Amino acid sequence: MTAAPGPRTPSGSALGVLRRIAAERPARAAGERCEMCAVPIADEHSHVVNMAGRQLMCVCRPCYLLFAEPGAELRYRAVPDRYLSFPDFRLGPGRWDGLEIPVGLAFFFRNSDQDRTVAFYPGPAGATESELPIDAWAAVIDENPALSTVAPDVEALLIRVPNTGPAGAECHLLPIDACYELVGRLRRCWRGFDGGQDARAQLDDFFARVERRSVARPDGGAS
């Protein structure tokens, strides 16, 4: 993947400040530390996406805020803390099969570097990328226009299809780091093709937490 170019900024800019901090930062010690300035951080901390390597970085709040400007062309992007649910979400006949996701769970996000939506689903090896048919995903968006509110690279749409079928599917918008947290939890307990009982329990617990944090957004409503 081609690395995203860094911004052209003067030495007093956000990236200039970070370069000076990185040059002077102390050696890493035990415990969680900001991956930019090396200060200690709590277990619950913010993340930014490294656009060049598509990696999540654990950061302190001041470093996070340097990259929180919406739409800014930066090498790093802050992951927001927004949770939305879509009570009017629906999957038309054959839509899930058309997406070619082999399990009943996947998250979708816009990769701005590739200029396309990509899909990942969980399994015993972690997050597996799906060969997402563009037309099939476009049809889902056409039926659910509220989903277009997702921010590229840092937010994702998590869709869960129950065993009863696509009619009971649910969809949430959440931070991309929460999706990778879920994949990590499932990887540790995944058994067989569908994950098994422990994986389903983890899913139920995760979605219960997401539900508590989510703000309902009906189709076409304001964010």
pLDDT of residue 125 exceeding 90: no
d(CA 117, CA 108): 7
d(CA 37, CA 15): 12
User: 163: pLDDT confidence band, cut at 50, 70 and 90?
Assistant: confident
Alpha helices by DSSP H, listed for the chain, are 14-24, 61-65, 95-99, 134-143, 176-189, 196-213
Q: Please give the average per-residue pLDDT across 99-118, as a whole number.
A: 91
Q: What is the pLDDT of residue 12?
A: 46
Cα torsion 136, 175, 147, 186 to 10°: value is 40
Condensed to tens digits (0 to 9), the pLDDT of residues 75-88 reads 899 999 999 999 99
Q: What is the pLDDT of residue 195?
A: 76
Q: Phi first, then psi: give them for residue 132, nearest 5 degrees.
A: -75, 120
Contact 174, 109 (CB under 8 A): no
Condensed to tens digits (0 to 9), the pLDDT of residues 65-78 reads 999 887 667 889 99
Residue 174: is it exposed, middle or buried by C-beta count within 10 angstroms (0-12/13-18/19+)? buried
Q: Phi first, then psi: give them for residue 49, nearest 5 degrees.
A: -100, 125
Using alpha carbons, select from 57, 47, 182, 196 the residue that is nearest to residue 127.
182
User: 134: pLDDT confidence band, cut at 50, 70 and 90?
Assistant: confident
pLDDT of residue 222 exceeding 50: no
Using alpha carbons, select from 93, 95, 122, 119 the residue that is nearest to residue 107.
119
Q: Please give the average per-residue pLDDT across 191-204, as a whole number.
A: 81
